Amino acid sequence: MVRYRLFGFAFGLSQLLFVVLLPLWLRLLSYLNPVVLAVVWMCLTVFVVFVVYYLCKETVNMPKRVIKILLSSYSVGLLILLFFRPMHQVYNQINYIPFKTILAFLSGNGNMLVAFYNIAANILLFIPYGVAALMFYRNPSKWQLGIVPVVIILLIETTQYLTKRGTMDIDDLILNLLGIWIGYLLYPVIQKVVRVK
C-alpha cells in the first residue's frame, strides 16, 4: 500500500510540474512537431518518479519487456521529432567545425528557448540510450559502447541532411554522444532504483 501511495505522489507531482510548465512546452510547438509534448511528458514523468523513489530509497521491479516497450515508444517519438518538423523550416547546411553551433547558441544572439532546446535536448534526449546499452547488454565491449553510438548518430545526421529534415552538424554528434556517455555514468545510480526482471 505504501508503494502505491509513493507512486501516486510521484506521478501526481510530475503531472503538476508538467502543467505548471505547460506554457514553456507549448512554445516548442512553433519549432517542433506536436509529439514533443508527449516526449516531454514521458521524460518528465519518468524523471520525477525516479527521483522520488531514489530519495525515498525505494526500488521498483520492472520486467525487461516493459522497459523495451517504453524505450521503443520513446524512440518513435524521438524519430518523429528528428524527421517530422514544421514544413516552413529549411535545412541544407553542413557544419564540420566542432563547437561552432554550440558557441553560436551560447553567445545569446538568438532565441534563448531554441538555444536551450538545441543544446540541452541534444544531450538529455540521448541519456536513455546510454542507460539501455548497459541495462540490456551484459559486459558490452568498448566497441559496442564507443563506436556503435557514433555510427548510429552519424547515420541519423546523414539521413536528416539527405531528406532535408535537419542539418548535418558535428556539434549534434558531440552533444548526442555526451548524452549517451552520461547515461553510462548514471547507470549505477539507476540500478539502485530500477531492478530489471
Task: Note the pLDDT tens digit of each residue in 165-179.
Answer: 777 889 999 999 999
Indicate the number of domains in the chain.
1
DSSP letter (8 states) at residue 90: -
Give the separation between CA 99 and CA 102, rounded to whole angstroms: 5
Give the separation between CA 177 and CA 13, rounded to whole angstroms: 30
Give yes or no for residue 182 having a pLDDT over 70.
Answer: yes
Owner of C-alpha cell 509534448: 37
pTM over 0.75: yes
User: Residue 45's pLDDT is what?
Assistant: 96
Task: Look up residue 51 and give its amino acid.
Answer: V
Among 52, 30, 26, CA closest to 40: 26
What are the pLDDT digits (tens) for 88-129?
A: 666 677 888 888 888 888 887 667 777 887 889 899 999 999
Residue 192 C-alpha cell reads as: 539502485
Query: What is the residue-wise DSSP string for 69-116?
Result: HHHHHHHHHHHHHHH---TT-----EE-STTHHHHHHHTT-S-HHHHH
Give the pLDDT band (50/70/90) at residue 197. Answer: confident
What are the pLDDT digits (tens) for 22-57?
A: 998 898 887 788 999 999 999 999 999 999 999 999
User: Residue 139's pLDDT is what?
Assistant: 83
The domain of 99 spans 2-196
Q: What is the separation of C-alpha 67 from the centre of its chain, rounded to a whole number of angstroms?
A: 15
